[in-house]
């Protein structure tokens, strides 16, 4: 605001930094540096990992795995709720130990790997549980272009200068248009995760 030929200096601009402001800045800088020191950026790798699914076919449990892991995991053991996960698997790597069945699963009716080459998961939040050994994951999984929210407990174990993340959840294949109206294939499948991630 101009008064005559002089300027009025806003009140907040006339306040000199005091001890409280210095203390705030010191705390802020220390907290930021602490976060940088303890938060680890990790990369999921196939070696030491296993992404497995189990589904009933004609009433018999049938299993398979995926590999080709990629993405970024930010994990802070001191503040796990600040962690984030953005991970994918290569859909073409589906492996049930039967080549003819694997090729069938890669087709349009099932995973349609030519159009949708990856299966993706991205976390939205991580929370603590009543158990000191487990955390709770919330996030979105994308299969064949369809996004569904999932949530499940998991644990993080230090391993070989990285972390092993383990958990499991259930999916309905029909939600993602996998397998069409097959009567021999169960609608529900279980996914078991054992993902090893090391410093990138």
CATH of the domain at 52: 2.40.128.110
Q: Look at the chain and report how many structural domains it folds into.
A: 1
**pLDDT given at position 20:** 61
The answer to whether residue 178 is domain-embedded is yes
- Per the DSSP assignment, residues forming a β-bridge with 81 are none
What's the token pair of residue 21? 């402001």
**pLDDT given at position 12:** 43
The answer to whether residue 77 is domain-embedded is yes
Q: Which positions ≥6 away from 101 have C-beta within 8 Å?
A: none
The answer to whether residue 130 is domain-embedded is yes
The answer to whether residue 85 is domain-embedded is yes
The answer to whether residue 126 is domain-embedded is yes
**pLDDT given at position 190:** 98
Whether the pTM exceeds 0.75: the reply is: yes
pLDDT in tens, 109-166: 999 999 999 999 999 999 999 999 999 999 999 999 999 999 999 999 999 999 999 9
Which residue is associated with the tokens 């979105």? 140
The answer to whether residue 177 is domain-embedded is yes
Task: Quickly list H helices, the chain.
Answer: 19-38, 99-105
The answer to whether residue 34 is domain-embedded is no
Distance CA 196, CA 46 (A): 7
Domain that holds residue 48: 40-199
Distance CA 194, CA 157 (A): 11
SS (H, E, C) 32-81: HHHHHHHCEEEEEEEEEEEEEEEEEECCEEEEEEEEEEEEEEEECCCCHH
Which residues of the chain, if any, have pLDDT below 50?
A: 1-15, 26-37
The answer to whether residue 29 is domain-embedded is no
């Amino acid at each position: 605001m101009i008064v005559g030929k002089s300027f009025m200096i806003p009140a907040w601009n006339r306040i000199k930094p005091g001890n409280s402001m210095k203390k705030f800045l010191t705390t802020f800088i220390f907290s930021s540096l602490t976060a940088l020191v303890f938060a680890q950026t990790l990369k999921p790798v196939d070696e030491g990992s296993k992404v497995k699914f189990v589904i009933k076919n004609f009433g018999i449990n049938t299993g398979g795995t995926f590999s080709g892991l990629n993405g970024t995991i930010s994990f802070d053991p001191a503040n796990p709720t600040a962690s984030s996960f953005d991970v994918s698997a290569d859909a073409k790597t589906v492996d049930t130990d039967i080549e003819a069945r694997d090729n069938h699963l890669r087709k349009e009716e099932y995973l349609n790997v030519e159009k949708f080459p990856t299966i993706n998961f991205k976390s939205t939040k991580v929370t603590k549980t009543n158990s000191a050994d487990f955390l709770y994951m919330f996030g979105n999984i994308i299969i064949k272009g369809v996004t569904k929210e999932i949530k499940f407990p998991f644990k993080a174990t230090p391993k070989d200068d990285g972390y092993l993340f383990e958990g499991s959840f259930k999916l309905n294949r029909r939600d993602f248009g996998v397998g069409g109206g097959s009567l021999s294939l169960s609608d529900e499948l279980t996914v078991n995760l054992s993902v090893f991630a090391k410093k990138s």
